Amino acid sequence: MSNTTPVVVVTGASRGAGRGIAIALGRHGCTVYVTGRSENPGDSALPGTIYETAAAVTAAGGKGIAVRVDHSRDEQVKALFEQVKREQGRLDILVNNACALHDQLTAPGNFWEKPLGIVDMLNVGLRSSYVASYYAAPMMVAQRQGLIVFTSASGAVHYVYGPIYGAHKAGMDKFAADMAVDLRDKNVAALSIWMGALKAERLQSLIDSDPGKYAHLADVTETPEFTGHVIWGIYKDPGRMAMSGSTVIGAELALKYGIKDANGRQPTSCRDTHRVAPAVQYPNIIR
């Protein structure tokens, strides 16, 4: 493992999981590029901007660098990684987290009764993660070291909010599995990590919208920073290549690495709460 300060890109880090992951990696001294579209308060219905997150990364002990990127625009994504290469000369961790979450995603109803715009999370979310990985991989391969992470959830293997949400999560897991095949002999790992319900702006808004239905979620949430600390544990793990291609459950790896959430809380694995586990990936390879 190099002693050079790790360089990280966290996509979709204005708020929510991305913001928490970026700040956590800042606490470990990383230089973190924070991407998203929100530059000013009011750019989104939810609070948070890329500059606020970058400042929080720096305050946590790292170096936060905000870069406005519309992840539906491939040329902007390409320019982001060119900037990272030009300014840092390396890239150690990519966290694919950007996702276009429609306000009506969690609304009641069947998929044909919800706005068609919900499908956008297969563009900014699934496709955008492929594009970011496409531009990140050559840097990591050249230095023969790196980690590509896809943020996902157990909705990959059971119904949550409808088919678009599930397709996004399953796709993230599959990206990790198949990219790992191409990266295995390059010493670059690709993993998908299942997060639990996050105690962040969007979930709080959901709880407030129907406390009778969602209040229980407040007792089983993870802070957004929790996954960032788990990602750091993976990065520092000398055996991380053995995990490459797998979908891991953040709460379970936290136990392995001795990581606790805020106030000493130990989040519970969805394997226990939901009785689910990541899908099996078979070793067959057809080229």
> pLDDT per residue over 216-234, tens digit each?
666 678 999 999 999 999 9
Handedness of CA 139, 101, 200, 79 (dihedral sign): positive
- Model pLDDT for residues 228-267, shown as the tens digit of each residue: 999 999 999 999 999 999 999 999 999 999 999 998 999 9
Active-site positions read 165
- Model pLDDT for residues 35-55, shown as the tens digit of each residue: 999 888 876 777 789 999 999
Tell me what the mean pLDDT of segment 128-157 comes to. 98
Question: What span, in angstroms and rounded, lies between the C-alpha atoms of 47 and 280?
Answer: 38
Q: How far is CA 77 from CA 70, 135, 183, in A?
A: 8, 8, 21
DSSP-derived letter for residue 123 is I
Neighbours of 241 (CB within 10 A): 17
SS3 of 105, please?
Answer: coil
- pLDDT over 80 at 152, yes or no: yes
81: nearest Cα among 157, 134, 126, 117:
134
Amino acid at 76: Q
* Domain coordinates in residue numbering, the chain: 7-273
Specify whether the CB–CB gap between 250 and 21 falls below 8 A.
no
Tell me what the mean pLDDT of segment 178-199 comes to. 96
Neighbours of 179 (CB within 10 A): 24
Question: What span, in angstroms and rounded, lies between the C-alpha atoms of 135 and 222?
Answer: 30
63-68 and 7-10 beta bridge pairing: unpaired
- pLDDT over 90 at 64, yes or no: yes
Structure tokens at 262: 């805020």
SS3 of 150, please?
Answer: strand
CATH 3.60.40.10 fits 7-273, yes or no: no
- pLDDT over 60 at 1, yes or no: no
Tell me what the mean pLDDT of segment 156-176 comes to. 98
